Structure formats: structure tokens, C-alpha cells
Amino acid sequence: MKSFYITTAIDYVNGSPHLGHAYEKVLTDTIARFRRQMGDQVHFLTGVDEHGQKVQASAKKRGIPPQQFCDEVSAEFRALLPKLNITNDDFIRTTEERHKKVVRAVLQQLFDKGEIYKAEYKGFYSTRQEQFLQEKDRLPDGTWPELFGEVTEIVESNYFFKLKQYQEWLVDFLTTNENFIFPAYRQKQVLEFLKEPLNDLCISRPRERLEWGISLPFDENYVTYVWFDALLNYYSAVVDRPEIWAEAHHVIGKDILVPPHAVYWPIMLKAAGISLPKGIIAHGWWLQRGAKMSKSTGNALNPLDLVTEFGTDAFRYFLIREMNVGQDSDFTREQFLVRYNSELANKLGNLVNRTLNMTTRYTGGIVPAPEVEEELENGLRQLWEKTQAEFIPLCEGYQFHTALERVMEFLTEANAYVEKRAPFRLAKSAEPKDQALMRTSLATMAESLRLAVAMMQHVTPSTTEKINAVLGYTPGTTWRDELVWGTKLTGAKVAEALVLFPRPAPPEKAAAAPKA
């Protein structure tokens, strides 16, 4: 079996999880489930980033020790995972000893090799971003952009990692490995960024300025810069399992691609003599009225509210169906309801209802064998073949939204087939030909449904499971033979009904409106 290792970014614990964090988990889970269906041995890691200035400041504000603060907020991030039906194999916290041990070992190794040096540094520092700024970061009027918060000039001795000397190597690497970053246009942006000379990276913070971090193994007066610590989580979690590390793929948001994941990370690994990940998938942002959802702007939605109202699968479906991986999407309740009603309730829900209902009424709940194939059956089957042929390549290219669109188109045609074939009319006829067609149509509906939900199982796993159960069907573990049109359901006993995606309660406003 082929290994496949997939990670999410690790979230800062300075605030509660929001829709952006939930999306990244759902997207990564979709990829993990997809790879499992393809037969890969998947290892899925997620976790939290607990060190650094932001966390220290948030704990101080709450008046509790940073470790206690991290314990509380991390528990919240962790609790979100089962609510979203995330199938992670591991959850890492950067305050865990297993992680700190690896960070110290890598630092010591780089120090011993002369990749890290001490120097005096004078410069402008942004506390909010925890980074030194350069002249080119200034706005044309000489001020600093809002995102840096308060900027002060400081002089201090620090440790630096020799990033600059790897610039040419990185350009070469990215030029040779064209598909390292998805989407491809992001890789071009990284190469564009690398046209400017890199500076060495300051990887320490004096303890008097920041206490909450991993001590440098070669100088206790300093703690490790939070990004140098955090990036290593992907490696520290599997340090004893090289076969997993060899297949690493990182899912992250576009805001943390350049420079951390596309520049610091490959160079850190190269310098430490560790092999590079296979790929980076950089997704876009969920916006609200055009602005990035975030803790600091206060426009973030709580994913749990939507899960409570609509259910986990509807929430997962919306996120994956709506977002083209890499691009941004605006989140609106209206659009959520459109997808919920017109796709999940009407297209999928309808086919489920019709299949169960008619099979119960006309053949005693037993799925009949198909007997004839006429133009209508043929047409649907041909659409299936086309859908199936496109499906796996679309998912392999992270085009999950288009793959779901194809499934919906197939469901639309399956519903149209029911109307045209009209088993409810055929059932009334005593003609043997009509009876054979009626039985064929029930078999065709059930088979279409089975195939459609098989293609949704990485996105809506419990719905697929429920529908398989009411179809009296136990699926195999991979898609290899699942996604083949056939007679797997012949003779299966279906349930009478299944309630899926009920109409949501009308908004309070409408309920409270005075009667005309």
C-alpha cells in the first residue's frame, strides 16, 4: 500500500476556532478520505501552535499562566474535530515534549553545522506580526501598514539562520519541481518573490521580551522564533516514521505560503539534511462581504452554529462545493440555503425518497434486476460513464467543487429519468413489457443513487453511510470496484423511508412578521 501523509496548518490558540479553521480541516479531511478510497495508507495530522507573542499576550489578558490558557483553547480546537467528522490520526501541540525535543535537536544540529550565527541587529520591529521590518515594508508616505500594529526601533543580539545562501538552490528546486505548490499560479508568485534577495532569518527572541517558547539548546537566554518551532510540527509528529514523512503534503491558507511554507520550510529542511515534502496545497480565504474572516476583525462565523443548525454533512458539503481550492469565496447564508435546498434536499433527497418509496410500493422493497435497456436507460448510463471518467482526475487535481457539480448533474438526470420513465404509470399497466420496464427503472434508480453517494462519500460520509444502509448495501473499502455500474443491489431489501436534509426552520424574522 502506498503511504500518503497529509497535514493542516496548526492553528494559533489565541482565540476560538472560526469558519476559516473549520474549512481547512474539512478540505484536508476530504483529501484524506479521497486518498483512502483510492487505496492509500493515509496518515492525517492536525494540531495547534501554542507558542509565541500572541499566545503569551492573550494568556496575560486573561490573567492565567500560558500553559493553562493553551490547555483550555486547545481543547476547544480539538473538540471541533469530531463535530466536523474529521478523521485525523494524530493531533499535535507544540508544547508537547515529543515536539520540543525535535525542535531542539534540529536547532542544535544546524548550530553545530554553522548554519546559525549570532549577530547584533538594529531594526524596526512589529510586535503584532512578531517580525523585524524592512524599509520596503513602509507605505509610500513612510508610515507602516496597519497590519504591523505598533512598530518600534530596537537593537538586540539574536541568532540568525543562513537563509540567504540557499536562495539559488530554492529557485532551482521550484523550477525543477513545477507542481510543488498547488495552485500553479502560487508557485509562480513564490518565484516572483525570490527575484528579490533574501535576508537571513532571525530565529531567536530574547527571553526578556518573550518567555513563552522553546529555549535555544545552545543559549538559554533565548527562545525559538515561533515559525521555526511551528513548521517543525509536521516532521516532529512522524520523526520515527520515515516512510510517512517521505509522502508529506501540507494544506495551508494562502496567507502563510510566502515566506513561511514556501521559503523558510524547504530551506530549513534542506539545511538540516531532511527530505522535502511532496507538495503544498494553498487554499484561499472565506470572506464576509469581501473581507477575510478573522478573529481580529470580529467578522468570523462560528462553525458550530452552522453544524448545529444544518448538520455536519450539509456544512461540509457547502464548504467543498462552494470553494474552488485556491480562490476566495464569500460566505453568505443565502448561498448556503440555495445549495442546501436545491442540491442536497431536492436533487439527492428526492432521488432517495422516490427510490425507497416506489421500491417499497411496487416490488415489496426488493431491488429488482434490470431487464431491458432502452434509450432512456442508455442515456443515463452514458452520462454515468462520462461522470465516472472525469471524477477521479478532478479529485486528484483538488477540483472537488467541480467533481460535486458533476455528481449533481448526474442526479438531475437521474431524477429526470424517473419522470420520463414514470414507473408509477408503468406499475398500473398489466402488460409484461411495462412491468419489465418498471422493474428496470427501479433497478436503474437504485444503482444511480448508489453510485452518486459513492462519489460524495469523502465529502458527506454519514449521508453516504445512511443511504447505503437504507439501500441494504455494504460498500467495499475502495473505489476501484465501487464506481462501476452494475447489479450490486439486485435483491437488496430497501428501507421504507429516510429523512434527509429537512427544510430548515424559516428565519426568525419571517416567523415574527405580522400576518397580512
Binding site for ligand MSP (CB under 6 A): 9-12, 20-21, 23-24, 49, 230-231, 233, 252-253, 255-256, 285-286, 292-294
3-state DSSP of 351-394:
HHHHHHHHHHHHHCCECCCCCCCCHHHHHHHHHHHHHHHHHHHH
CB of 258 to ligand MSP, least distance (A): 12
Least distance from ligand MSP to the Cβ atom of residue 76, Å: 12
CB 465 within 8 A of CB 426: no
Min dist CB 106 to ligand MSP, Å, is: 14
Is residue 281 classed exposed, middle or buried when 0-12, 13-18 and 19+ CB atoms within 10 A define those classes?
Answer: buried
The residue among 293 and 426 lying less far from ligand MSP, judged by its C-beta, is: 293
Residue number, 278 or 292, with CB nearest to ligand MSP = 292
Residue 219 CA to residue 206 CA, distance in Å, equals 10
DSSP state of 212: S
Q: Work out the end-to-end distance of the chain between its first and last CA atoms, rounded to an integer number of angstroms.
A: 66
Interacting residues of 131 by C-beta distance below 8 A, sequence separation 6+: 125
How much of the chain is in helix, strand and coil states, percent to nearest 5? 50, 15, 35
Which of 11, 377 has the CB closer to ligand MSP?
11
* Closest distance of CB 12 from ligand MSP, Å: 4
Query: In the complex with ligand MSP, which residue's Cβ is closer, 198 or 287?
Result: 287
| Shortest distance in whole angstroms from residue 16 CB to ligand MSP | 11
Tell me how far, at minimum, the Cβ of 49 lies from ligand MSP, in Å.
3
Q: State which residue, 20 or 349, has the beta carbon closest to ligand MSP.
A: 20
- Cell 470572506 sits on residue: 287
CB of 126 to ligand MSP, least distance (A): 15
In the complex with ligand MSP, which residue's Cβ is closer, 31 or 408?
31
Give least dist CB 352 to ligand MSP, A. Answer: 32
Closer CB to ligand MSP, residue 24 or residue 322? 24
Residue in 410, 359, 356 with CA at minimum distance from that of residue 381: 410
H or E stretch at 279: strand 279-283
What's the closest the beta carbon of residue 430 comes to ligand MSP, in angstroms?
A: 60
Nearer to ligand MSP, 230 or 348 (CB): 230
Q: Which residue is nearest to ligand MSP (CB)?
A: 253
Beginning with the edge strand found earlier in the chain, give each strand of the sheet holding 329-330 in spatial order: 291-292, 286-288, 329-330
For ligand MSP, which is the closer residue by CB, 180 or 362?
A: 180
Query: CA-to-CA distance for 243 and 247, rounded, in angstroms?
Result: 7
Cβ proximity to ligand MSP, 161 vs 285, nearer residue: 285
Task: State the nearest-atom distance from the C-beta of 19 to ligand MSP, in Å.
Answer: 7
Cα→Cα distances 443→122, 194, 440, 449, Å: 75, 58, 5, 10
CB of 292 to ligand MSP, least distance (A): 5
Residues forming beta bridges with residue 118, ordered by sequence position? 159
**Is the Cβ of residue 257 or residue 411 nearer to ligand MSP in the bound state?**
257
| Residue 209 vs residues 12, 125, 319: alpha-carbon distances, Å | 19, 12, 40
Comparing CB distances to ligand MSP, the nearer of 231 and 454 is 231
CA-to-CA distance for 367 and 471, rounded, in angstroms? 9
In the complex, least distance from residue 230 CB atom to ligand MSP, rounded to whole angstroms: 4
| Residue 10: all three cell numbers together | 496548526
Q: Residue by residue, what is the 3-state secondary structure of 122-185?
A: EEEEECCCCEEECHHHCCCCCCCCHHHCCEEEEEEEEEEECCHHHHHHHHHHHHHCCCCEECHH
In whole angstroms, how close is the CB of 13 to ligand MSP at the nearest point?
Answer: 8
C-alpha cell at 126: 512589529
Omega cis (within 30) before 217: no
Respond yes or no on whether the N-terminal peptide bond of residue 423 is cis (omega within 30° of 0). Answer: no
Contacts of 21 (CB under 8 A, 6+ apart): 11, 77, 80, 303
Encoded amino acid at 116, one letter? I
**Can you name the residues that pair with 137 across neighbouring β-strands?**
none
| Nearer to ligand MSP (CB atom), residue 25 or residue 354 | 25
